Amino acid sequence: MESIACPCCRRPADRPDGQRDELRPKLRHKSGLPPPDSAVLPLHASAFHPPKRASWASFAKHTMARLSFAGLLTLLGLIVVRSLAQTKPFTPRKINELPDSEVHLKLQVSADATQALDDAFAALSVLQNDYFDANNGTWPTAIEWTSAVVGTVVSGMLSTMTQAISEEHWKQKENLIASVFAQVSHSFFGQEAEDIKTQAYDDILWVVLGWLETIKFVRLHAQLHYPGTEQACNHIPEEIRTALRRTSWQGYNYLCTFSDRSREFWDLATNGWDETLCHGGMIWNPRLLPYKNAITNELWIAASAAMYEFFPNDTFSEEWVQSKGFPGQDPIYLAAAIEGYKWLGDVNMTNDEGLYVDGYHVDRSKPGNVECDERNEMVYTYNQGVILTGHRGLWSITGSPSYLDDGHSLIRSVIKATGWDLMRNAPVDIIDRLPPGEIPPWRGLGRGGILEEQCDVSATCSQDGQTFKGIFFHHLTAFCAPITAPGDVTTIASSPAAHDETCRMYLPWVKHNVDAARKTRDGAGKFGMWWGAGIFNNPTGRDIDNGQNATSKRVDYRNKGIPMDGSWGNSTAKWEPGAKPVHQSSGSQTRPDDPRLHTKRERSFGRSRVVRRASRRATSDPNDRGRGRTVETQMGGLALLRAYFELSQRT
């Protein structure tokens, strides 16, 4: 194994032979700042070299000393959330106060938006105080992929906080942000990276998106508050006066670490791109019969576009590029995103309502068949969300207005499928005079204007399913982020003003969901899964309409596991949501008693205190049923409230 110099950390780093061969470029745009959102970056036609994977032991050893101090930082609460009138009012617990108790935050937002930020921060505080393990750097009741999503949403909230909180009381602001960032950084070392490498390709790609979101925050925070400083992973100027002016913000100490994990996991995910079936597309799980689903391909598109935005100069061997079927004239990340987007559009993955269904099998009863022709009609909220980040990323890179147009079209389809009329800014059904025990009819992806998983009403959502709505709102926020510089404005839809104006149209619908979700908070400030429960008078019967019309073409495997049939494969082992993956070498896997009702930690060590407490409560609260309130439902509440705050800034 040869020793090569790491240009980010300026030290030797051992890398095994692999795909990428040339030295990693510096983590900075040529301007020294993150590229403008709308910039059309040049397409490089330079020679390609085989990529290489990163080594983690040297990075971990190098950064643990810094982390030991950072891990001692505690989450400081500065915002008091006003109590809301509800059946179980949420009274915020006391959080560690600043030494100067007379200091009050001054926010760079309107008075109307202050409550939204208060509530979002309170959701973050509960998430970290109640669910984060500061000793191990994990959210222990999460599973690997949901933990990656939680970290992504927390990093997104950091980006909101660094922009929303004013410069007054700068030390307190920086301390608060650094404290939360330290927890995210700590979670890098708590992440079960080696385990995730053996899982499905969507699990691998969640990790890529997660650390790219953290990198995005670091660069934004440094650009806003430390202009003129260096953007290097490991460099302190020798002269003290220069060092005071130029030393990178401390978050840059981790950027090489985060970026190399993103690179390595993206490299692993390339093994899922398959040209032999369905003319392309990502396979979901290599240990099952081929299934090309929406989420894996959306993650591939979003992650590849983001990789190009952050690392536009990475190069690859021409032979490897040709083996994947990607155009050789484009940088590989961009080519991968565009080819993935084309495939997803061509394969017919949307239903008559304009919503993404889950995916395709290849009908094995037809000899020699290589076409995706068995479609799973199941619809999940997260399948409508991740692609929005892909839309925004591809528009930012290429300037093509069609990406924004497609994104807005999808959002409007989602809103309509919740039973909301965008023209009237009201639900299509009457929801304020419902007879006892009745709820509005299912509209495709919700009811009464509220986004909903089909498992919400019956409280049968798995740990996977409890994560989905938060994913949608995180990516809606990314898509509707302000455009700071005009791109290709050949159509009205692509102009910054038109994009912002269209996103403003979604604000009443988002607020309607926020008002509903707030009613699900218990006395500890924890959000429930079924946001519509309080507005619909808290029905608890399992026989009420959940929108699941009987059909053999709709398989809810994310909540119920895969069926043991010829389409999904492997008759001796069953993939379960919220469970460890099936490994080829194991041959079989024992099914837990009920993976939909217990987290990974509960399966290993018994029912947790949180779930036991929920089981003792009366079932008059629909969100006490099933898995109850969890780290995933809390993340969902945070993502929703952040989306509302960010969209409220467009007014």
Q: So what's the pLDDT on residue 344?
A: 98
Closest alpha carbon to 113 in 418, 514, 635: 514
B/e letters for 206-241, b = 16+ CB within 10 Å, e = fewer, are: bbbbbbbbbbbbbbbbbbeebeebbbbbbeeeeeee
Q: Among residues of the chain, what percentage have pLDDT more than 90?
A: 54
Greater model confidence, 26 or 21: 21
618: tokens are 């009366």
Name the region of 498 (left: φ>0; alpha: ψ -120 to 50; beta: rest): alpha
List the chain domain ranges: 399-648
Q: CA–CA separation, 538 vs 148, rounded Å?
A: 32
Lowest mean pLDDT among 56-60, 231-235, 628-632: 56-60
DSSP-derived 3-state class of residue 426: strand
Q: CA–CA separation, 83 vs 51, rounded Å?
A: 54
Q: CA–CA separation, 592 vs 587, rounded Å?
A: 16
Q: Residue 75 above 80 pLDDT? A: no
Q: CA–CA separation, 474 vs 578, rounded Å?
A: 21
Q: So what's the pLDDT on residue 74?
A: 36
CA 322 to each of CA 23, 292, 326, 336: distance values in angstroms, whole numbers, following the listed order: 22, 21, 6, 12
Q: So what's the pLDDT on residue 573?
A: 54
329 band by pLDDT with thresholds 50, 70 and 90: low
User: Bridge-partner residues for 358, per DSSP?
Assistant: none
Do residues 296 and 387 make contact, with C-beta atoms less than 8 angstroms apart? no
Q: So what's the pLDDT on residue 625?
A: 94
DSSP-derived 3-state class of residue 617: coil
Q: Residue 456 above 50 pLDDT? A: yes
- Model confidence over 415-430: pLDDT tens digits? 999 999 999 999 999 8
| Most confident of the following: 248-262, 267-281, 574-588 | 267-281
Q: So what's the pLDDT on residue 574?
A: 55
166: tokens are 């004013």
355 band by pLDDT with thresholds 50, 70 and 90: very high
Q: So what's the pLDDT on residue 550?
A: 52
- Model confidence over 177-192: pLDDT tens digits? 999 999 999 999 999 9
Q: Which residue has the tokens 């990428």?
A: 20
Q: CA–CA separation, 349 vs 343, rounded Å?
A: 10
349: tokens are 């993955």
Give 622's Cβ-side CA count (13 Å radius): 26
Average pLDDT, the chain: 78
Q: Residue 431 above 80 pLDDT? A: yes
Q: Residue 644 above 80 pLDDT? A: yes
Greater model confidence, 331 or 389: 389
Q: So what's the pLDDT on residue 588?
A: 29
Q: So what's the pLDDT on residue 235?
A: 86
- Model confidence over 276-319: pLDDT tens digits? 999 999 999 998 889 999 999 999 999 999 999 988 777 666 67
Q: So what's the pLDDT on residue 497?
A: 80
Q: Which residue has the tokens 């930082």?
A: 73
Q: So what's the pLDDT on residue 167?
A: 78
- Model confidence over 200-222: pLDDT tens digits? 999 999 999 999 999 999 999 99
CA 578 to chain centre: 17
| Most confident of the following: 130-139, 543-552, 618-627 | 130-139
